[in-house]
Amino acid sequence: MGLFDKVFKSERDIVKKEIVEVPWHALTEEKQLEEIEKESDSQPVVIFKHSTRCGISRMVLNNFERSYDLPKDEEVKLYFLDLLANRNISNAVASRFGVRHESPQMIILKNREVVHHSSHQSIEVQNIKDQL
């Protein structure tokens, strides 16, 4: 890092190069749940439920995204569910997978079964790593 970087860039800009982007896939249609189940036969699949109006949910999401450090080639698929826009899908997830709705919430599927679910401050990237 040169003098130019120290003077004209913020710490966030400098560190940003090291941050791994979370490869989210939008969960916006109930018919995707069948696809998600099939995908879980070959790799862990994560469903992250987020309420865009909830400060706690925003904090948990930010912490998750900041700590996300899985390599891009890691075989895991992450789905992001905006609860306010898609409450019907959240209800379908709860019903289909037998996991009571919470927000924020992370559900991990492997071989078409829930192998982990957590909510609030229990949501961590390590939960995914434990299933790899």
- DSSP SS3 for 103: coil
Task: Give dist(CA 27, CA 33) in Å, integer.
Answer: 8
Predicted confidence band at 97 (pLDDT cuts at 50, 70, 90)?
very high
User: Checking DSSP bridges between strand 77-82 and strand 45-50, what pairing results, if any?
Assistant: parallel
Torsion angle defined by CA atoms of residues 47, 51, 52 and 56, in that order, rounded to the nearest 10 degrees = -110
- The whole-chain average pLDDT of the chain stands at 89
Q: Are the C-beta atoms of 83 and 114 separated by less than 8 Å?
A: no
Task: Give dist(CA 80, CA 51) in Å, integer.
Answer: 11
Predicted confidence band at 95 (pLDDT cuts at 50, 70, 90)?
very high
Report the pLDDT value the prediction gives residue 90, as an integer from 0 to 100: 96
The per-residue pLDDT for range 41-51, each reduced to its tens digit, is 999 999 999 99
Predicted confidence band at 14 (pLDDT cuts at 50, 70, 90)?
very low
- Please name the residues in contact with 91: beta carbons below 8 A apart, sequence gap of 6 or more: 101
- How many residues can be counted in the chain? 132
